[in-house]
Amino acid sequence: MVLSEDDAIERLASKVIDRSLPKVEWTHAAHFATALWLLRNRPDLATPLEIREIITRYNEATSTANTDSGGYHHTITLASMRAAAEHLRAHSPDAPLHAVLLSLMASPLGHSDWLLSYWSRDALFSVAAPRAWVEPDRAPLPF
């Protein structure tokens, strides 16, 4: 799915919410596109509890088990939501969402391993981190 238009981002987010997005389309960019859309358009669904529910149910619908080693990961999700919120705040409220996403993906956040600047691999992929927030052990998040 090409995310170069705001309508495409809205369709993507809607498909995640209704659990109809094909798993192959649930990419790093799709995660951030969904986060940005939720933060701007449905902040009621961008809370930690709601986003956990959305992703957990989406994973179940796509036959992805939510376990200690796969599926929903609370620490990664909350860090990513915080990063997306900060990136969104840095843009004008009327900036096209696809432009915000493009900017985000061109930043260090666009690299799927960006979290390893803040967490060691052991901490981020511990048994505790998918279940609950684990504080960064390398450097504090800048947002």
**What is the model's pLDDT at position 2?**
72
Tell me which residues of the chain have a pLDDT lower than 70: 1
DSSP assignment of the chain equals: ----SHHHHHHHHHHHHTT-S-GGG--HHHHHHHHHHHHHH-GGG-SHHHHHHHHHHHHHHTT---BTTBS--HHHHHHHHHHHHHHHHTS-TTS-HHHHHHHHHHSGGGSTTGGGGTS-HHHHTSSHHHHS----SSS----
Task: Please tell me the distance from the alpha carbon of residue 100 to that of residue 27, in angstroms, as a whole number.
Answer: 17
Closest CA to 143 of 80, 98, 91: 80
pLDDT in tens, 13-42: 999 999 999 999 999 999 999 999 999 999
Q: Say if pTM beats, i.e. exceeds, 0.85.
A: yes
